[in-house]
Every structure is written in C-alpha cells, then in structure tokens.
C-alpha cells in the first residue's frame, strides 16, 4: 500500500469524498469555535483594547498563506518528478485559496495597523513580504489561466513555482534588509508566549483560542483544497472527454 | 547513420494521433509519408526531430544527424539571402553556402533582404538551408508548398543528389515528387481512442 | 554560438529591430518624473537613484517579449532547437544579446539622465556600478519570463505580471546600493548581494529557461 495510490484520480476522488464531510464539520467547528472563544470569551488587552482580537483571523490566515505556497511547491515538485496529474491539479487548486488567505492577512493587518501604528499601511518588512507573496500568487494563477494545454500549463506553472519560491525567499531577505519595520516579531510559537509576561508576546489567555483558530484554518485549507482538486479533476476529465469526442467525430 | 523508428506513438495536444509506427531509413533512401490532413504527419516529424517526446516507442539514430524543415522557414526578413544562409551554416559549423545558392537558383537574389522575397522564393531559401546544415538525414514537412513546377523538379533533383551522396530524406508531401523512394501511408496507424472507462493516471 | 549572438545584434540594429526603443523610453520616463513630483532640486536629487533604477527596470521590461517571440513566430526557434547548440546555450546567448542591446545602453545613459534629476555628485559612480551589476540579472530573469510566455498570443501583460515580482530582490539591492552611495554610506553589503543575485541568476536561470522553452516547443 503506497501513498502514490492516491495519485490515481479515481482513488483520490473516492477517498477524499469519504473524508470530506467529517473535515468540513471539524474545520468549521474549530474555526467558528475558536473565533467565538477568541472574540467574546477573552479579556481586552490592557494596551491594545479589543483591537487585539483581530489576531484570531490575522495570524491563522498569514500562516496558511505561507503554507499554501509551500504546499504548491511540494505538489509542483511531485508533478515534475513523478508526473501525477492529481498533484499538479492540487497545486492549481491551492493557489486561489492561498491568495485569499494572503489577502485576508493583508487586510486584517491594515485594520490592525490603523489603531496601533496610526496608519493603514506601512512599508514594514512583513507586510511588504506578504504583498510580494500576493504578487507571486497572482502571476502563478494568471499563468495557469493563460495556457490552454493542461499538461503544458502544469509543467510551466510548476517551474514558475520552483523559481518563484527561490525569488520569494530572496525577496523576503531583501525586504528585511531594506526596512526594519514596526511589526512585532513572530511571537506565537516562542516559549515565552505561554508565560505572557511582556506586551511583546502573545499572552496565554489568547494563546489557546489562537491555536484552535490556527487548527481550524489549517483544516479549512485542507478541505477547500481537497474539494477544489476534485473539481479540477472533473473539469480536466470533461475537457479530455470533449477532446476525445472531437477526435471521434473527425474519424 | 540509419534512422530507426520502432513502435512509435505520438500525441498532439495530449491526444494520441498515430501509434505503432516502425520503419528504418537507411542511407541513400527517401521515405515519402502520405496521409490525409490532420492525421499527425507534422507531429510525427516533430517527434522524430526531437522537438517533442514520443508517447511510446523510440527513435534512434536521429541525434545530431537530422536537419529539420518545418512549415515556417525561420528566415529573418531584415537579413539578406546570403546572411540568412551564412547564419545557419555557422550554427551547424558548416562552410560553403555557394552550392546551396546555386542549387536553388538564388544567385540573382543573393543580396536581397529576405523580407522582399516572394513566398516561393522564401521557400527556396528555406530549403537551401538544408544544404548548409551538412546533416545527412533530412526531415521535410510539406517542402513543396508555394513552389512552381520547375522548382519542384529542381528540388527533387537536389534531394536525389543528397541521396546519392549518402544522405537520406523523410518527406511528408501530398504531391508526386518524381522521387524513387519508398512510400509510407500513415493512415492505417491512426491511434484508436483509449477505452472510455479508463479513468486513471493519465486522464486519456 | 558567436553566430547566434552576432545575428541577434545585427537584427536589433537593423530597421524594426527595436534598438533604441528602450533607451528612448528610459529618457521619457526620467523626463516625466519631475512633471509628476515637481521641480524642487532637493526632492529630485533625493529620489534620483530610485527613479533611475525603476526607469531602467521598466525600459528593460518593455523589450523582453522581443527576446524570443520573433524567433518563435518565424519558426527559427524550432530550427535552432534541432541545431547542435543546446537550448541552455541558446537562451544564454539570447539574454546576452538582450543585455548588450538594452541593458548596457541603459547603464551607460543612466549617469547622463542623472543630470536631469540633480543626482548628487557622489552617486554617479554608484548608479553606474549598481546598474552594471544588476542589469544582467534583469535580462536573464526576463528571458525566463519570455520563455514562459513565448507561445501565448498577447503574452506581454502576463510577462510583466510574471517578471516584476521576480525583479523585487534585484531592484531592492540595486536601488539600495545607489541610494547608500549617494548619501555616502557603506555600499558593501548591498553591492555583494546584488552581485550575488546577478551571478546566481546568470548561472542557474538559463537551465530553467531552457526547460520551459523545451516544454513550449513540444
């Protein structure tokens, strides 16, 4: 029993359809539960007030924005090396989810930045990196849309994803070098976050619901990608059948 | 120097068009491909030329031996006839473009910018390119399009000389070139569509 | 290989080759900037290095689709792909030809245009050096984008969308180096990083471009 069995579209569809209902329920329960807990059952921060609660959307979205790209990178590599169509289609399916996550992270960041930093937008390295990531997503999606032949599109977007990843990392360092910025460091995973004794860190009142939200977003991403991959497989199948019908009509 | 094609299947736009093709093309022989439009002759020639991977089967003996002439001639309109030929001769590390110019009656046109040539003259320049490559196996896709009857005869003479010199040619054409070559009708090799419930890995 | 380079240069110089278009565009952009931001010397001189960099980058971008599209349309690419040259060499030569006909003239003209923007005297050398180091990366990255979009009709806009994000690190380090040079700060770090990006792009990206071209040709 090999994991590559699921690279068969039929097997993938039947399996993913079996697990998806449970995943939908679980992901929505976690996300909604985490958000309610975070929004209504935690105290206001003594300095940031209720604004701090945007963290329950902002951080999970930002996390998934990066992980979605990472997943596309892995899927592209699998396509390039093993030529499993499902893998290429999964990368295609993940891109719009990733771009929405990036957009959510950017917009919530701006909403948070306004009361905290007094400005909607700052050319802070983190914000800027996300903006650049957003542009990479747009280019990737546009390339998929522009090419008619599905295998050519899969090949070209896979190579763009690989090259783009290198340049995205380079951009991240370039941006850090370019401007030091206002954004606090990534503090969620630090050990001190649990202690919650300084304002720099995410205090533990917020930590648990935040982890719940992150889990919810991750599952939501997973189920959305599974769902969209299924759609892409069917669309690809329809295209193939139509092409074959034309071929038979010619004969 | 024999070109060997064995059990070759080729695909266009992801769909198999020809399958199970096998033939040998030894030195001194011309193989004429025939078949209706859309059967996949161009796809076959591109596959043999190494421009696209075969779906199945192998092509051997083609590496660095073939000169390929497609529908488009790859002529730069702002360069003169001579400049165009010299460029291709240099790319193929071959010298001497005079034979090519004379063989295709281009002497009077040699310093004219290629953009000012007629369609037939351009085609002759495109075919003259084959001679400056110095490659033994010619792969020609509809070489006589827009040539008049005199020049078709002239082209056939050039191919004949090429064969006598130990070369070979694989030609897709609809007209009778008057060449004493083998004729291969690709019609019977038309790929059958795969069974409809074959819903696995490759989608088709 | 030399033959291909010479042919590309010759084609660029001849009528309709587009040589000089990039340069004129660079000039026009530079002239438009004071109209947009106002003529104050101090402001112009502060933004001059950045304006020169963005102008050079856009001028470069403008000419990218010519790198491969013409050879694609007239069938030369198919024929070149069956020639003894490996595709990696072909795309490298194409990038080099693009750099010689577009990048290098931009580098040479940038200090002249600096006069129009009141570029501080200390910055002339650094804008020249930073562009000299950075433009090869712009050409090679651009060739990758051109290879991705070569088979597409009206691929120009898509080409910009694909290439501009890839230009971000080069632009940041290049412009940073010019800005630091202008204000007399140490330029060593951005210069090394810029040179590193250029060198790595020139060394590695042709493989990606050739792979992409191979896919597009089939």
Write a three-state SS string for B14-60. CEEEEEEEEEEECCCCEEEEECCCCCCHHHHHHHHCCCCCCCEEEEE
Question: A170 to chain C: nearest residue by CA?
Answer: C169
Report yes or no: A243 at the B interface, CB cutoff 8 Å: yes
C129 with C191: CB under 8 angstroms?
Answer: yes
Of the given ranges (B99-103, C45-49, C106-110), which has the lowest mean pLDDT? B99-103
What is the mean predicted confidence (pLDDT) over A128-152? Answer: 91
Under 8 Å between Cβ of A53 and A36: no
Higher local confidence (pLDDT), B164 or C18? B164
Residue A47 is predicted with a pLDDT of 67
Q: Which of A124-128, B158-162, B167-171 has the lowest mean pLDDT?
A: A124-128
Q: Is the pLDDT of residue A195 over 80?
A: no
Q: How far apart are CA C165 and CA C178, in angstroms?
A: 20
pLDDT of residue A187: 55
pLDDT of residue A184: 62
CB C187 within 8 A of CB C180: yes
- Which pLDDT does position A53 carry in this prediction? 80
Could you tell me which residue, A136 or A41, shows the higher pLDDT? Answer: A136
* CB-CB neighbors (< 8 A) of C10 in chain B: 79, 83
The pLDDT confidence band at residue A201, using thresholds 50, 70 and 90, is: low
Residue A204 has pLDDT above 80, yes or no: no
Q: Which of B164, B157, B166, B173 is nearest to B65 (CA)?
A: B166
How confident is the model at residue A202, as a pLDDT? 57
Q: Do B203 and A236 touch (CB under 8 A)?
A: yes
Residue-wise pLDDT for B114-125, tens only, equals 888 888 889 989
Structure tokens at A175: 């941006």
Hey, are the CB atoms on B91 and C11 less than 8 Å from each other? no
Band of the pLDDT at C13, cuts 50, 70, 90? confident
pLDDT confidence of residue A5:
73
Query: How far, in Å, are A85, A142, C87, C151 from residue A147 at the CA level?
Result: 16, 9, 22, 9
**Residue C27 pLDDT > 90:** yes
Q: What is the pLDDT of residue C15?
A: 67
Question: How confident is the model over A195-224, as a mean pLDDT?
Answer: 76
Q: What is the mean pLDDT of chain A?
A: 84
Among the listed residues B170, B152, B192, B146, the one whose alpha carbon sits nearest the alpha carbon of residue B34: B170
In chain A, which residues touch C (CB < 8 A)?
132, 135-136, 138-139, 142-143, 146-147, 152, 155-156, 159-160, 162-164, 167-168, 170-171, 173-175, 177-178
Evaluate if residue B106 carries a pLDDT over 90: no
Using CB atoms within 10 Å of the CB of residue A2, give its burial: 0 to 12 exposed, 13 to 18 middle, 19+ buried. exposed
Q: What is the largest CA-CA distance in chain C?
A: 57
Closest residue, chain A, to C153 (C-alpha):
A146
CB within 8 Å: C169 and A167? yes
> Is pLDDT at C139 greater than 70 in this prediction?
yes
Structure confidence at residue A192 as a pLDDT band (50, 70, 90): very low
In whole numbers, what is the pLDDT of chain B averaged over residues? 85
Contact C161 A171 (CB under 8 A): no
- Lowest pLDDT segment from A49-53, C45-49, C130-134: A49-53
Phi then psi for A37, rounded to 5 degrees? -55, -50
Interfacial A residues in 135-174 facing B (CB < 8 Å): 149-151
Report pLDDT for C59.
Answer: 92
Residues 6+ apart with CB under 8 A from A168: A69, A132, A133, A136, C165
Mean pLDDT of B139-149: 87
Give the residue-averaged pLDDT of B8-28: 86
- E strand map for chain C: none
Write the burial class of residue C203 (CB in 10 Å: 0-12 exposed, 13-18 middle, 19+ buried): exposed
pLDDT higher than threshold 70 for residue B128: yes
* Confidence tier at A196 by pLDDT (50, 70, 90): very low
Which residue has 């190579």 as its token pair? Answer: A159
ipTM of the complex: 0.90
The whole model's pTM is what?
0.89
pLDDT in tens, B178-192: 777 788 888 888 887
């Amino acid at each position: 029993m090999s994991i590559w069995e699921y690279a068969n579209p039929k097997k993938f569809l039947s399996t993913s359809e079996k697990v998806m209902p449970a995943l939908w329920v679980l992901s929505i329960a976690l996300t909604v539960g985490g958000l309610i807990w975070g929004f209504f059952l935690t105290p206001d921060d003594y300095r940031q007030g209720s604004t701090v609660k945007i963290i329950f959307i902002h951080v999970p979205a930002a996390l998934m924005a990066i992980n979605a790209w990472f997943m596309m990178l892995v899927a592209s590599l699998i396509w390039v090396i093993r030529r499993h169509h499902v893998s290429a289609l999964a990368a295609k399916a993940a891109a719009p989810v990733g771009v929405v996550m990036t957009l959510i992270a950017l917009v919530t960041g701006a909403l948070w930045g306004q009361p905290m930093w007094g400005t909607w937008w700052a050319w802070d390295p983190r914000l800027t990196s996300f903006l650049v990531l957003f542009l990479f997503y747009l280019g990737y999606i546009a390339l998929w849309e522009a090419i008619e032949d599905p295998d050519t599109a899969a090949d070209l977007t896979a190579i763009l994803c690989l090259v783009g990843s290198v340049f995205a990392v380079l951009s991240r360092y370039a941006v850090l070098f370019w401007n030091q910025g206002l954004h606090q460091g990534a503090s969620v995973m630090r050990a001190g976050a649990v202690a919650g004794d300084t304002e720099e860190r995410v205090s533990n009142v917020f930590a648990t619901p935040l982890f719940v939200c992150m889990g919810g977003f991750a599952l939501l991403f997973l189920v959305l990608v599974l769902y969209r991959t299924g759609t892409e497989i069917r669309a690809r199948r329809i295209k193939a059948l139509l092409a074959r019908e034309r071929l038979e009509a010619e004969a | 120097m024999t070109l060997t094609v064995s059990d070759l299947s080729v695909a266009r736009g992801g769909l198999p068009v020809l399958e199970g093709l096998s033939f040998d093309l030894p030195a001194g022989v011309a193989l004429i491909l025939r078949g209706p439009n859309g059967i996949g002759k161009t796809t076959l020639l591109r596959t043999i030329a190494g421009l696209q991977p075969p779906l199945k089967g192998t092509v051997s003996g083609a590496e660095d031996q073939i000169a390929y002439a497609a529908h488009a001639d790859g002529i730069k309109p702002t360069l003169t006839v001579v400049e165009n030929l010299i460029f291709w001769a240099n790319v193929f590390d071959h010298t001497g473009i005079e034979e090519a110019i004379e063989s295709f009656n281009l002497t009077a046109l040699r310093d004219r910018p290629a953009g000012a040539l007629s369609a037939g003259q351009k085609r002759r320049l495109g075919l003259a390119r084959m001679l400056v490559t110095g490659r033994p196996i010619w792969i020609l896709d509809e070489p006589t399009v827009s040539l008049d009857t005199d020049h078709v005869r002239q082209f056939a003479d050039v191919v004949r000389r090429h064969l006598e010199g130990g070369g070979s040619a694989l030609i897709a054409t609809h007209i009778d070139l008057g060449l004493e070559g083998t004729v291969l009708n690709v019609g019977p090799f038309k790929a059958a569509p795969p069974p409809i419930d074959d819903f696995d890995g490759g989608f088709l | 290989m030399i033959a291909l380079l010479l042919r590309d240069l010759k084609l660029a110089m001849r009528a309709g080759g587009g040589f000089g278009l990039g340069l004129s565009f660079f000039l026009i952009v530079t002239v438009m900037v004071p109209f947009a931001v106002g003529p104050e010397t101090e402001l112009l001189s502060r933004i001059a290095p950045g304006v020169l960099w963005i102008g050079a980058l856009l001028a470069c971008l403008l000419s990218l689709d010519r790198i491969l599209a013409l050879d694609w349309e007239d069938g030369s690419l198919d024929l070149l792909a069956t020639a003894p040259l490996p595709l990696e060499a072909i795309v490298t030569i194409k990038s080099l030809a693009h750099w010689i006909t577009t990048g290098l003239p931009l580098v040479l003209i940038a200090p002249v245009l600096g006069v129009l923007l009141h570029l501080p005297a200390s910055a002339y050398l650094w804008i020249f050096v930073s562009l000299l180091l950075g433009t090869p990366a712009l050409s090679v990255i651009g060739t990758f984008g051109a290879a991705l979009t070569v088979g597409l009709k009206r691929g120009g806009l898509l080409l910009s969308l694909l290439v501009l994000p890839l230009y971000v690190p080069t632009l940041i380090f290049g412009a940073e180096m010019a800005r630091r040079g202008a204000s007399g700060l140490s330029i060593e770090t951005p210069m090394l990083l810029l040179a590193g990006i250029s060198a790595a792009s020139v060394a590695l990206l042709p493989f990606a471009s050739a792979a992409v071209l191979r896919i597009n040709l089939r």
